[in-house]
Amino acid sequence: SDQGWQYRNCHYQKLLANNGIKQSMSRKGNCLDNAVAENFFGRLKSEMYHGQCFQDADELIEKIEEYIEYYNTKRIKAKLKGLTPVEYRNQALQAA
């Protein structure tokens, strides 16, 4: 893993600062810090993005939004007892 070394590079940090971008990474990366996000984006790329061609950024954004809707409301997961993420969360809220 690169553990975010490129984000600590002084030239990269200066480029961000010169463009008014505030860097949020304050320390060496830890894979556990963003495991959920990494897992989601890995699935998004393998299930929706790879092998596809998009006309422009607007079409890509539309397809990502559609995938997020599908992922949360229609895609069942074995880890969630065969429920979608929304169903699983609602079930947990009703039990509380």
Q: What is the pLDDT of residue 1?
A: 44
| pLDDT confidence bin for 26, thresholds 50/70/90 | low
- Of 24, 65, 66, 68, the C-alpha closest to 43 is 68
pLDDT score for 69: 96
The domain ranges of the chain are 1-33, 42-96
Torsional sign, CA 12, 14, 20, 23:
positive
Instruction: Taking residues 47-72, report their average pLDDT.
Output: 95
Contacts of 84 (CB under 8 A, 6+ apart): 72, 73, 74, 75, 76, 77
For residues 22 and 15, the answer to whether their CB atoms sit within 8 Å is no
Lowest pLDDT segment from 19-23, 60-64, 88-92: 19-23
